[in-house]
Structures are given as structure tokens and as C-alpha cells.
Structure 1
Amino acid sequence: MAVPAGVAAVVREMQDRLDAMPGDSPLRDFLSTYQRTTTAVGQAITDGVFADGEWVEEWDVVFAQLYVRAYDAHIDGGHVPRPWRIAFDAPADLPSLRKVLLGINAHVNYDLPQALLGVISDADFADPVLLGKRKRDHEAIDGVLASRVAAEDDELTATGGKSLVDRVLQPLNRVSSKRFLREARQKVWHNTHELQVARLAGPAPYDVRLGELELLSAAKVADLLAPGQVLLRLAVAGFGVVLPPAA
């Protein structure tokens, strides 16, 4: 069955950028992974996995556009948020797995709370029943992502994007990946509420809190550039970031 029209349009936008990339672009690994994951989310919408598929489709488009804008700004020499700037400017000779993780980290920690705010209005936040429904669909995406971990792991192995140590640790890495994606998504929901409080207070307080999230997210992306087994380190230290209470 075809994926929803909004998701299909986003997948085409991603393909346009993949087609324009040099074959050896270090940015190809993340975008290829993201395109496959977006298609999987679209298929889950079609399959009725979510309570409100139309809302999830809207969220998926808003979320993807945050990446597309950051990527286009990077290519055009425009302003790129710090987490994405670090991810895009990472050394080209990094293993493919590390490149994918850099992009996932920037996108989930920095972009996802903004995307959720883009599709959850002030009135929605004031409605506990509706907000609960939104939260359950947000959590249901974990299942879609978890279902992709093994397939993406195999893709990286097949294309030579993993070291011998990565391959030896593959079963543990898969468990770690599912765990840190779930942990990050829980923190995202917390950060979305913190940004909502700031949004209610006005544009200036919101900009301050978003700036805090940008710095925290950038620091976490930078952590992934440290040497060592990144998935094992994330399994211990965690993947997400947490906005502290407003001062």
C-alpha cells in the first residue's frame, strides 16, 4: 500500500537531495537511513498503527522539513543550527555508523521537540485527553524505529560502514540502539513541555529556552565525535538531553 501523500512528498525531497549529492558525500549515510525510516513511518500510518494517522503524517512532514532546511542551509552557506553544524562538518572519514548517529542525535534532540510544538497547539496542551493521545502516538513511533534497527544495522554492515569491532558487538549494539532511542524520546517529551511553557510566556522566553536546547544538543553531538565504541558509551551515558527547569 502507498504511503500518505505528505510523507511521499518528503521522501521525494530527500531523493532529490541524494541525487544531487556526490557519490562519496559523507552526508549520504544519514540521509539514506532517514529516507528509509521516513518511508517506514509512512507505511505504519497506512497500516493503522497510530491512533491519529493524519496527525502523525503532519508531524512527520514538519519534522523532516527541519532537517531539510538545515541541510539546504549547509549546502547554500546559510545559518545552520549548532547541532547540525557539528554533524555536517564532522570528519569525512568517520565510520558510516558514527555519521548516522550524529544525524540522529541532532535531529531527535534538537528538532523533534520543535516539530512536536509545531503540531500540538496551546489548546491541545490544555486538553489532557487529546494530549495523552498525542503522547501515545509519539511513543508508538518507538516501535517503528525499533523495527528498523536490525535492517539499518545490516545495511551498514553490507556497505562496509562498520568496523570489525562493530560487527563483533552487533547484537549488543542493536539492543543499545533500541534502548537509547526510547530513552531519548522520553526526554524529548519532557523538553517539549519545557518549550511549551516558554511559548506561553512569549517569543523572547521561548527563544532563550530554544537556545539552551541548541547548546545542550550541540554538546551531545560533539560527544559522539570522541574516540571509542559510541553505542556502548551511549548505553551508559544516555542519548538524549534534558532541559533544566527555567530560571
Structure 2
Amino acid sequence: MTVSPPNRFPPPPALPERCALFLDVDGTLLEFQDDPGTVALPSGGLDTLARLADRLGGALAVVSGRPLATLDQVFTPLLLPAAGMHGQQLRGAPEAPREVPDALAELHRQATVLAHRYPGVRVEDKGGAVALHWRAAPQAADALQALAARFAPRLDGYRIQPGDQVLELVPADVDKGRAVRRLMEHPPFAGRTPVFVGDDLTDEYGFEAANALGGWSVLVGRRPNSHAMYALPDVTAVHAWLQSNL
């Protein structure tokens, strides 16, 4: 039996009194599922978030690769401050109009063909971005990565964003760190100590931003090379820690 090495990061302390809390969603507040539409917060999780948001004067935001409309379905009836699509959508801030390149539609078409060849692959059209998921079809990873690499030079102004068994083609000027910085410029976040909690490679941008702004960051799970200062082992531990801060 292989035993995972202990996490080199200590557990997080209590939240500062004047904290701005930024939470990733999948893998942080929600367990991963092959079909993300089937996941739900653990029992009591919504109440914990509502009470914590109230304690923080509303300075609690979810920062996710999901679109805002999908996030609102997960957290209903709460309407939390949120950054969707890695910050491409930001509640309360105007979105800059973007021209979606024709190559993105062609990428989606070819990825859909691959999905028929590899049952379990999920191709997610986010409007201004495309995500290629292979959690339920790990044998498709190489083919999807090769497809993304082939299209990347044709997608001017876009970058490949790797994640946990997913690749996304996203605008190059969008990431979770930029989303945190923009939210920190406005009430109720301005003037507070930022804390970012997340599990994925995409959350490293958020970790860096929170650290640079005088706050701190929490990795969920294990990763040897992370900018996080603290760590929690899993989703269950995240909810227990959040509840302990009420």
C-alpha cells in the first residue's frame, strides 16, 4: 500500500476579524463528481456560508471556473459575491466585451467528436472559453491535451489553463488572482485581509494574490509546489474549519 506523505503545510489559523474570504468551489466546497450538475453542498454547508458571510459583513466570495449562472444554482437561495469562469465574469463589475475567435468553436466541434470516441469525456462550452474534462475517461487525457496544444497557436489572446483532469482554453488576461485583486478594490472587501482557499492549479493565482495583498492562502489536499501558506486535507475539513470560525 502506498502511503501519501504528510502535508508540509500547517493547518490554517482562525480567520482575522476583518477578513475578506475567497473560496474556490469544486474540490473545496464541493466534492468532485463525474457530472458536476449532480453535486451539492454537505448538510449544513449553506447555513455555514450564510452565517459566515454575515459575520464578515458580506466579504465572502466564491471564485470558480463555473459560470455565474451555475454557481447561483449551487448556492441558492444565497446570492454571494462571485467570480465565474476564473474571473471572466465578476458579479458587480461590468464585463468587457470580447470577440470569441472562430477557432474556439472549431475546437469545441473537434472535442465533441473525441467525446464520442471516449465515453466519459465532457466538453464544456462556457461561451468565451472551452473546458475539456477527462475525469471519467482518463484514457482520453493524451488526445485532449494534444487537441488543445494544436489549437492554442490559433487562439490569439488565449492560454491553456491546466486543472485537475481538465484543460481549459481561456482568455490570457483572466485568472483567479486578477479576480481577487479586482474584488479587493471595492466594498465590502476593500481594506480587509484577504484569505483564499482552493485546491486546484487554477487556485495558485488566487494564493499568490492573497499573499501579495498581505493575507494568506489555504491549499485543500496535497501539492508539493504550492504558493499556499496552510493546508486542509479535504472538503470535509474545509467545512469543519469554516464552521469553527462562526
TM (norm. structure 2) is: 0.27
Structure in which a larger fraction of residues adopt helix: 1
Structure in which a larger fraction of residues adopt strand: 2
